[in-house]
Each structure stands twice: as C-alpha cells, then as structure tokens.
Amino acid sequence: SLLDNFWEGEIASLGEALREEEDFELRLDPGDGQEPVIIHGSIDRIDRLPDGSIEVIDYKTGGTRSQAFVDQSLQLSTYGLACRDALGLGTPSRLTLYFTEAALRLSTTRSDDQLDAARDEILMRVSRMRDGDFAATPGDACRWCDYRAMCPERV
C-alpha cells in the first residue's frame, strides 16, 4: 500500500543514534602566522545511517526555516567541519535541522569543497574581527541581534 511504502522509505532513511550532545573543539589554522581559530560547540545528535554514512541533526525550537536557509547554514557547515576534522567521523552525508514544534526535518548536504569554503569563510570573518572590522551586515539575523537598537544599519 502507499502508506507501507512511505513508512519503509522513512525507516530506511533513519539512522541509529551514534552520539548525542557531542562536544567538539574545532581548530582552524589560518596559515598566515595568526593564532589558530578555536571553535567550541556541541552537536545535538550524530546518527549512523543504514548505508554507514553519518547524519548530523540539530534540533530547533520556535519557527521553522526554509530549505534555502538550511542549504546556506554556516552553523550546519561548521558541524560538518567538526565531524570531519575534529571528531574524525568523516564528511557527513546529510546535515539536518529538525524543527521540534512542527515535527519538520529539512536536510541538506555539503561536499568536502563546500566544507573547505565554509572553513575559509569562518577564517575570513575572524580575521576581520581581529582587525577591528565590525561593519554591520543587515539581514534576517538582525531580528535577533542584541545590538540592533544601537546599530547604524538598523533595518
């Protein structure tokens, strides 16, 4: 039946919880004589999928986001880097935001090249911070920014 096929597909895509609330320390070397960038974080859940690959799952409360948001998420890319470079689990085959209140899973992927590009993006942002460049970059995140009341780029 249609429902049986749906559930078989769902079960086949679910993994076994490998780690939960997994703390990591990701060290990124800028390679220019600067101090390494150290990112401490915690991944909500890491699953081993039936094909042996890894899925990173980050649980979110509150409102849902779009697939485009998930596809561009630097947080998910950072978790992918942590799996690959800090935890030694390899490049995850799937990165997922699970919106608990809506019971909605939005998944994406990152290639090694995309993870390397995210690494470069993080290093560039930290370099600008170290240089004192804190120019505002207006966007969606402004709604939650602690500094929006005093920001010259107030949207």
Sorting pLDDT into bands at 50, 70 and 90, what band is 94? Answer: very high
Residue 60: how many CB atoms within 10 A of its CB? 16
Calculate the alpha carbon distances from 99 to 16, 50, 64, 78, 105 in Å.
Answer: 19, 23, 6, 19, 6
Residue 21 to residue 9: CA distance in whole angstroms: 27
Q: In what order do the strands lie in the sheet with 16-28?
A: 16-28, 37-48, 54-60, 94-99, 104-108
Percent of the chain with pLDDT over 90: 62
Q: Supply 23's token pair.
A: 């703390």
What pTM was estimated for this model as a whole?
Answer: 0.81
Q: What is the mean pLDDT of residues 9-36?
A: 85
User: Rounded CA gap, 109 and 115, in Å?
Assistant: 10
Q: pLDDT band for position 147 (50/70/90)?
A: confident
**Residue 46 three-state SS:** strand
What is the CATH class of 2-150?
Answer: alpha beta
For 52-92, what is each residue's pLDDT tens digit?
999 999 999 988 899 999 999 999 999 999 999 999 999 99
Split at pLDDT 50, 70, 90, the class of 6 is: very low
Find tokens 């998910």 and name the residue: 76
Nearest Cα residue to 25 out of 104, 96, 87: 87
